[in-house]
Structure 1
Amino acid sequence: MEITERVDALIRPSLEDMGFDLVRVHFSGGGRAVLQVMCERPDGSMTLDECAEVSRTVSALLDVEDPIPGAYELEVSSPGIDRPLTRLGDFDRYAGHEAKVELAVAVEGRRRFRGIVKGTSGDEVVIAVENGDVALPFSQIRAAKLVLTDALIAAHAAAHPQDGGPGDGTGAGQEEE
């Protein structure tokens, strides 16, 4: 089992007990090893105080179990507006918005797609691309992310008026690439 799977299995139950959905666990080794934990409330919200609460809980769990050899930095954040799409249900939740999808194996001669998310059909994700709709096997998606558009910003602002919109100064949801 790789590090991200071990950490996911270790922290998911506690985060769910706290009322959070775990969106992604990502570990990058190398010179500056970083463990990134993304989570949110079921309604998609996440405050700076909640990030700190999650960070303390995750730190305590990792200190006890020690699933990562060596030193690393822990980063806890919300997924942000232009969030990664990591669960099959994310593609239904964000239907109508533009996304970039990268596959492990080519479909119709391509591994990268950009288009409007139409939702899911069984275990496939349907994306409207320039030539029509394409069904992508969820199991073959290596990475998927919403594209920051005016429509996505407006939908987020309507759903979360308490956030103050992009650049609300909390730092929650910001991610480096």
Structure 2
Amino acid sequence: MAKKKITELTEEMLSDFLAENNLELYHSEFIKEGKDWFLRVYIDRESEDGYVSTDDCEKVSRFLSKRLDEEDPISQNYYLEVSSPGMDRILYKEKDFARFAGHQVDVSLYKAADGKKNFSGILVGLIDGNIVITDEKDDQLKFPAEQVAKTRLAVVF
């Protein structure tokens, strides 16, 4: 089964279960690292005061593992990992950019712009296909989304 089909099936399997448990699917991926395959599922809570506990991860892991064993859609051996996206989460979807507007982010580009590939600033949002941040000089920087390798929340202490 193709990687995209596996993640789509995972999303289908989890949809109702996550909603019943006041959780949401943040991201999923089926990837090969070295000789091993991993099905990684990142769960989250949208509420400001909400957080994902290890109990939540365990509950989702047990549920998904059972469903995957029953349907057995993945032919090769793999490891199932369920976790929260973490404090330094990668932003994937439009709603992630809207939710975390005003937060400090790190933006990595595929190719250098002005001699740099990495930028930091306050996220303004995803606007007209551009990831927009305000840097430490209060300049607004715009990066076409297709040129951005990764936008990640910065951990600020």
**TM-score, normalising length: structure 1:** 0.69
Q: Paired residue for 2:92? A: 86
Question: What's the offset of the Cα at 1:133?
Answer: 1.2
Question: What's the offset of the Cα at 1:9?
Answer: 0.6
Q: What percent of counterpart residues are identical?
A: 33
- Output the CA distance in 2 between the equivalents of 1:42 and 1:146: 15
More strand by share: 2
Question: What's the offset of the Cα at 1:148?
Answer: 0.7
Question: What's the offset of the Cα at 1:30?
Answer: 1.5
**TM-score, normalising length: structure 2:** 0.77
Asked whether the 8 Å contact 2:37–2:79 carries over to 1, the reply is yes
- Output the CA distance in 2 between the equivalents of 1:7 and 1:108: 39
Q: 2:125 aligns with which of 114, 119, 142?
A: 119
Asked whether the 8 Å contact 2:121–2:134 carries over to 1, the reply is yes
Q: Paired residue for 1:137? A: 144
What do you get for the CA RMSD once the two structures are aligned?
2.5
Question: What's the offset of the Cα at 1:149?
Answer: 0.5
Residue type of the alignment partner of 2:25: L
3-state SS of 2:81 partner: strand
- Output the CA distance in 1 between the equivalents of 2:25 and 2:149: 18
- Output the CA distance in 1 between the equivalents of 2:93 and 2:62: 25
Q: Paired residue for 2:15? A: 16
Gaps of 5+ in 1: 151-177
Asked whether the 8 Å contact 2:44–2:52 carries over to 1, the reply is yes
